[in-house]
Amino acid sequence: MPDNLTNPSPQFSTAEYAATPGSERCKSCNQTLGSQYYRVNGALACSHCAEQIKLRLPQDSRSAYVRAIVFGFGGAILGLALYSAFGIITGLVIGYLSLAVGYIVGKAMMKGSNGIGGRRYQIAAVLLTYAAVSMAAIPIGISQIIKQKKAEKQTLIEHAPVSARSGQPPQAEPAADTNEPNPPASSNPKISLGAALGMLAIAGLTSPFLELQDPVHGVIGLIILLVGIRIAWRITAGVKIDILGPFKTSSQPANAPAGS
């Protein structure tokens, strides 16, 4: 498809309407317009080129949308992995990675749809970008808990009695009184795997708002996240091509006197 027709920016400095009637030419094939013409994103086009553009326009369909969702989901997983890996390796959570996640998701969806965009693609891109960034808090949080447990264990070892660190057997403790009642069983209810995963998902999805406990850091993080979502929104908007017409070419100048 010719760039000079699909690009909405003017490619010339003089107004098209100022041309002499009969001298207008198609911006694609450079041929005279003939008896009728079209406007493609404001540029003049002959009937043949306009019809070719219509035929080449990608058509939205259910399969295109499904492919876009699949590719976008893959992009969201990739973005989540990159976001999480950076936070786990460096110990830093940098919100600017949200911009990269939005870009990856948007480009992946457009790749899957073969360039088709639109409102439903934009909504899906927003949801996938938000989910990828917010759910990255789960592996980062788990990593921080593991590191904290290791540090606590190391601290206990360092402050253990000398006999324990030297390998000497510990002194025997007095036997417990058998007349004492048995200790009560643990009252903590067991949580199923599904419930645990659900709780983790809720914690992840709400993590951007939970960070508002630190107002400055939380607000900045939300703003950057919104910018990343905006990037995905703009990418999945697609290329809008307006084809107007047909119009009849004038046979005489517009300023010619009537009856001439």
Q: What is residue 245's three-state secondary structure?
A: strand
pLDDT at 182: 60
CB 12 within 8 A of CB 50: no
CB 238 within 8 A of CB 115: yes
Residue 172 has pLDDT above 50, yes or no: yes
Q: Kindly state whether residues 78 and 120 are assigned to the same domain.
A: yes
Q: How far is residue 57's CA from residue 115's CA, in Å, rounded to a whole number?
A: 10
Q: Kindly state whether residues 12 and 52 are assigned to the same domain.
A: yes
pLDDT at 20: 52
Render pLDDT for 97-137 as a digit per residue (tens, 0 to 9).
899 999 999 999 999 998 899 999 999 999 999 999 999 88
Is 142 within the bounds of a domain? yes
pLDDT at 256: 42
Give start and end residues of each alpha helix (H) in the chain.
3-6, 47-56, 62-90, 97-112, 119-135, 137-158, 162-166, 193-205, 207-210, 215-235
pLDDT at 183: 55
Residue 6 has pLDDT above 50, yes or no: no
What pTM was estimated for this model as a whole? 0.64
Q: Kindly state whether residues 81 and 142 are assigned to the same domain.
A: yes
pLDDT at 18: 42
Residue 78 has pLDDT above 80, yes or no: yes
Is residue 195 very low, low, confident or very high in pLDDT (cuts 50, 70, 90)?
A: confident
Is 204 within the bounds of a domain? yes
- Count of domains observed in the chain: 2
Residue 11 has pLDDT above 50, yes or no: no
Is 188 within the bounds of a domain? no
Is 181 within the bounds of a domain? no
Q: Kindly state whether residues 80 and 39 are assigned to the same domain.
A: no
Q: Kindly state whether residues 228 and 123 are assigned to the same domain.
A: yes
Residue 253 has pLDDT above 60, yes or no: no
pLDDT at 147: 77
Is 172 within the bounds of a domain? no
Q: Kindly state whether residues 88 and 53 are assigned to the same domain.
A: no
Average pLDDT in the 154-170 region? 62
Q: How far is residue 124's CA from residue 73's CA, in Å, rounded to a whole number?
A: 9
Contacts by 98-101 with C-beta closer than 8 Å and gap 24+?
98/129, 98/133, 98/224, 98/225, 98/227, 98/228, 98/229, 99/224, 99/227, 99/228, 99/231, 100/228, 101/76, 101/129, 101/132, 101/133, 101/228
Q: Kindly state whether residues 13 and 122 are assigned to the same domain.
A: no
Q: Kindly state whether residues 114 and 216 are assigned to the same domain.
A: yes
Is 162 within the bounds of a domain? no
Residue 223 has pLDDT above 80, yes or no: yes
CB 83 within 8 A of CB 94: no
Q: Kindly state whether residues 90 and 23 are assigned to the same domain.
A: no
pLDDT at 125: 97
Better pLDDT: 183 or 87 = 87
- Last residue of one domain, picked from the residues 11, 35, 57: 57
- Last residue of one domain, picked from the residues 13, 36, 57: 57
Q: Kindly state whether residues 80 and 134 are assigned to the same domain.
A: yes
DSSP letters along 172-203, please?
PPPPPPTTSPPPPPP-PPP--HHHHHHHHHHH
Average pLDDT in the 123-152 region? 86
Residue 252 has pLDDT above 60, yes or no: no
Q: Kindly state whether residues 41 and 83 are assigned to the same domain.
A: no
Is 19 within the bounds of a domain? yes
Is 254 within the bounds of a domain? no
pLDDT at 16: 47
Q: Kindly state whether residues 126 and 94 are assigned to the same domain.
A: yes
Residues contacting residue 130 through CB under 8 Å, at least 6 positions apart: 205, 208, 225, 229
pLDDT at 215: 83
Better pLDDT: 75 or 182 = 75
- Tell me 36's DSSP state: E
What domain range includes position 32? 3-57
